[in-house]
Amino acid sequence: MLKHLPVFLFCAVHLTLAVTFSIALHLKHVTYFLPYISDSGAFPPESCIFGQMLNFVAALICVTMYVRYLQIREIFNKHDFSCGYYRLNKIAFCIGTTACLGCSIVANFQETTMLLVHWIGAIMLFTLGAVYQCLQSIIYFKIRVVFGNRMLNMIRAILAAISTGSVVSFVIFGLIAGSQFKGNDVTKWKEDDGGFNFHIISTTSEWICAGCTMTYLLCFVWDFRRITLNEPEIFVHDDVAVPLKIYRK
C-alpha cells in the first residue's frame, strides 16, 4: 500500500493545479500563460479549492517524509551506521516538515490579502524543499552499498540540483521584479507594469522547482515498495478496580 502513497501525492498535486488554473484562466483571474502557482488560487472560487487541497497535500507530504525517515532509520539500525548519519536523517526530516508548514502557509494566506506572509511561506516551501532533496540525495549515496540504485540516485541528485538552482532564480528574480513593479494587480502583471521579464523568469523557475520536487517525491515509489506497514498496536491500561457498593433501601 505504501508504494502507492507517492503516486497518490503526485496525482493530487497535479489535479489541484490543473483544476484551479483552469478555473482561474476561464474567469480571467490570471491573464498569461505562466503566472505564479499561487496566482491561480488567489481569488474565489478557485482559492477555496486551492487552499483546501494544498492543506491536504501538505499533510500527505509530511506523512511521506515520515515514512521515509523511519525507513532510513531502520536501514541505519540494521547495518550499524555511525551516529552522524542518524542526525542527518533527523535533520532532513525536520527540514522537510518545516517545508510542509510553508505549504500550509501558502494555502491559507493568499497573496491578495497577506502578501508578505504568503511569500514567507513560499520561500519556506521551495527553499527548504530543495534542501530536503539535497540531504536525501546525500543519504542515498551513503546507503548505496546496502540499499538503492545508482542510476536512480543520479536522477535524484540532478533533480535536487535543478530544484536548488530554480529556487534561487525564483527568489532573486522575484524580488527584482517586485521592486520594479508599478502596476495595480500583481496577479495580472502586464508588460508595461515594469519588471515583466524578471517576473516571467521567476514564475518559470517556480514551476520548474515545483515539478522537480514532486518528481523527487515520486521516486520514493521505488523505495516504498520494499516497506511493510503493520497495523499499530494499542495498549489499554485499566484503572485500579474500585469496589462497587450497592445500597439497598
| Rounded-to-integer distance, Cα 44 and Cα 173, Å | 28
For the chain, what's the residue count?
249
Count helices and strands (H / E) in the chain: 7, 0
Q: For residue 240, what pLDDT is reported?
A: 55
96 pLDDT exceeds 80?
yes
Question: Rounded mean pLDDT of 167-190?
Answer: 87
The answer to whether the CB of 148 falls within 8 A of the CB of 140 is yes
Q: How confident is the model at residue 183 (pLDDT cuts 50, 70, 90)?
A: confident
Q: For residue 161, what pLDDT is reported?
A: 96
Q: Residue 26's CB: how many other CB atoms inside 10 A?
A: 10
56 pLDDT exceeds 90?
yes
Q: How confident is the model at residue 112 (pLDDT cuts 50, 70, 90)?
A: confident
Cell 491578495 belongs to which residue?
112
241 pLDDT exceeds 70?
no
Return the C-alpha cell found at 169. 532564480
90 pLDDT exceeds 70?
yes
Write the Ramachandran bin of 245: left for phi over 0, alpha for psi from -120 to 50, otherwise beta. Answer: beta
Q: How confident is the model at residue 83 (pLDDT cuts 50, 70, 90)?
A: confident
Q: How confident is the model at residue 106 (pLDDT cuts 50, 70, 90)?
A: very high
| Rounded-to-integer distance, Cα 41 and Cα 67, Å | 29
Question: Rounded mean pLDDT of 44-53?
Answer: 90
How far does Cα 71 stand from its chain's mean position? Answer: 19
Q: For residue 239, what pLDDT is reported?
A: 62
- 189, 42, 166: which is closest to 106 by C-alpha? 42
